[in-house]
Amino acid sequence: MESVGIVVNPIAGMGGRVGLKGTDDTLEEAKRRGAEPRAPDRARKALRALARRKPELTVYTAGGVMGEYAARDAGYEPEIVYVPESAAGGESLDQTSAGEAGRESGDEDGQPSPIDPAEAGTTATDTREAVRAFLERDVELILFVGGDGTAVDVASVLEAQDSDVPILGVPAGVKIYSSVFGVTPADTGQIAAEFDRVESREVNDIDEEAYRDGEVRTRLEAVVSVPVAPDVQSSKQLSGGSVDSLAAGFAREVESDRTYVFGPGGTVGAIESELGIEPSPLGVDVWRNDEVLARDASEREILDVLEEPTTIVVSPIGGQGFVFGRGNHQISPAVIDRADEIEVVASEEKLDEIDTLRVDTDDEAIDDDLRGWIQVRTGRFTTRLVKVV
């Protein structure tokens, strides 16, 4: 990699420590509660890690607190390709003044920024304009500092311009539900410097009002290319997804003339809801060609409506990770024997609590056939390899 575009959302994450669970539409309240900017400091940490490994990198960025100060502090001489009107009075600092006084507040060895990031007045529009300017320069990576909202802003420009330039987030926001972020700022800088491949990852956002009321409502906003460095990205970050995006991805791939047997549980229920089915939370439903053939069905009722080909969709039940034999006895060995495909789906959070998956169908031959390594679907595009014992 020889060039990178860097954009910082200077107010990202300000609402977290003061109990606002986000900063979207709450900046004034965050400031009233004494919130302090954290994104500029995290930007510096990431860029210093990047500069140690790629000191000769061509850096494009936005003026002032939106990237210029952090880039100069890391030792780069960035090319300013976009200047927000509100940043530094609409002008970027020259290298000398930036070096002497252009470091954002919060750094133990820096001086206060000439612009308080919380007062910079930058907006999502500024982020998007900076990304457009990066694309015009044919950057090889867009490194952004913020949270899910910033990720959505960056991804929206890529989608509008049909660009596949990879993006990577320095985590600074309160909400980090997207799988496009490094684990820490320093890790992110290392990934940016050393990656040699990219993978498709999901950009998700949540409803902040619902989140403040204790309810998480995630929605898939985009799918982008993200650098991958397994040694410095957690498995959760690499495989990240949400139940909503998992359900949306599954629903897009259903086949006509295939019978689906949906087991109990919230994750499978989300798939049914995506297909327009009212799920049986503790029961088994059978569906084919947009028609519910059996609802809250018994083994006999399932067998009566089965037609090949058939897919059984189940999720681990309970803390011991049973996919068959606990809570879904209706999906009997006879039903399993009639299916040509079994799909196991689960959230990353659930899999993090389970070392292995288990089966106990009362048919040893069926159990033996089911044992071994399987791919568990965790998101729209993502899976995790888990062993069935």
pLDDT tens, position by position, 15-71: 433 333 444 554 454 445 554 667 888 899 999 999 999 999 999 999 999 999 999
Question: Hey, which residues does 200 pair with through a beta bridge?
Answer: 225
Q: Locate tokens 């947009």: which residue? A: 290
- Extended strands (E) in the chain: 3-8, 58-62, 79-82, 142-146, 167-171, 198-206, 218-227, 259-262, 285-288, 291-294, 310-314, 322-324, 341-344, 358-359, 372-377, 383-388
Q: Locate tokens 């900017």: which residue? A: 37
Number of Cβ within 10 Å of residue 213's Cβ equals 9
Spatial CB neighbours of 388, under 8 Å, sequence gap ≥ 6: 323, 356, 357, 358, 359, 370, 371, 372, 373, 374
With 50 as the cut, is the pLDDT of residue 101 above it? no
Please give the pLDDT value at position 260: 98
Please give the pLDDT value at position 30: 43
Spatial CB neighbours of 96, under 8 Å, sequence gap ≥ 6: none
Q: What is the mean pLDDT of the chain?
A: 82
Average pLDDT over residues 96-123: 48
- Asked if 21 and 147 touch (Cβ cutoff 8 Å), the reply is no
With 60 as the cut, is the pLDDT of residue 240 above it? no
Token pair, residue 268, equals 């499978």
pLDDT tens, position by position, 126-155: 999 999 999 999 999 999 999 888 999 999
Q: Beta strands 198-206 and 218-227: pairing type?
A: antiparallel
- Sequence letter at residue 69: Y
- Compute the distance between CA of residue 289 and CA of residue 51 in angstroms, rounded to an integer: 55
The pLDDT-based confidence of 120 (bands split at 50, 70, 90) is low
Token pair, residue 30, equals 């965050």
Axis crossing angle, helix 39-53 with helix 185-194, rounded to the nearest 10: 30
Q: How much is the pTM?
A: 0.59
Q: What is the secondary structure of 348-368 as a DSSP string?
A: HHHHHT-SSBEE--S-HHHHH
With 70 as the cut, is the pLDDT of residue 174 above it? no
Please give the pLDDT value at position 328: 87
With 90 as the cut, is the pLDDT of residue 350 above it? no
The residue ranking higher by pLDDT, 275 or 91, is 275
Please state the domain extents for the chain.
Answer: 3-240, 244-388
Q: What is the secondary structure of 81-131 as a DSSP string?
A: EE--TTGGGG-PPPHHHHHHH-PPTT-TTS---SS-GGGS---HHHHHHHH
Average pLDDT over residues 88-99: 42
- Asked if 347 and 267 touch (Cβ cutoff 8 Å), the reply is yes
pLDDT tens, position by position, 257-288: 999 999 988 899 999 999 999 998 778 999 99
% of the chain at pLDDT higher than 70:
77
Helix or strand holding residue 204 (H, E): strand 198-206
Token pair, residue 229, equals 């460095």
pLDDT tens, position by position, 105-117: 344 444 444 555 5
Among 197-201, 256-260, 299-303, 318-322, top mean pLDDT goes to: 256-260
Number of Cβ within 10 Å of residue 228's Cβ equals 18
With 90 as the cut, is the pLDDT of residue 384 above it? no
The pLDDT-based confidence of 302 (bands split at 50, 70, 90) is very high
The residue ranking higher by pLDDT, 97 or 134, is 134
- Asked if 379 and 222 touch (Cβ cutoff 8 Å), the reply is no
The pLDDT-based confidence of 164 (bands split at 50, 70, 90) is very high
The pLDDT-based confidence of 230 (bands split at 50, 70, 90) is low
What phi and psi values does residue 171 have, to the nearest 5 degrees? Answer: -70, 120
With 70 as the cut, is the pLDDT of residue 310 above it? yes
**Cis before 309 (ω within 30):** yes
The residue ranking higher by pLDDT, 311 or 13, is 311
CATH fold, domain 244-388, is Rossmann fold (3.40.50)
Please give the pLDDT value at position 175: 62
Token pair, residue 317, equals 């039940």
The residue ranking higher by pLDDT, 253 or 355, is 253
The pLDDT-based confidence of 241 (bands split at 50, 70, 90) is low
Instruction: For residue 50, give the nearest of 152, 140, 177 by alpha carbon.
Output: 140
The CA-CA-CA angle for residues 144, 146, 149, to 5°, reads 105
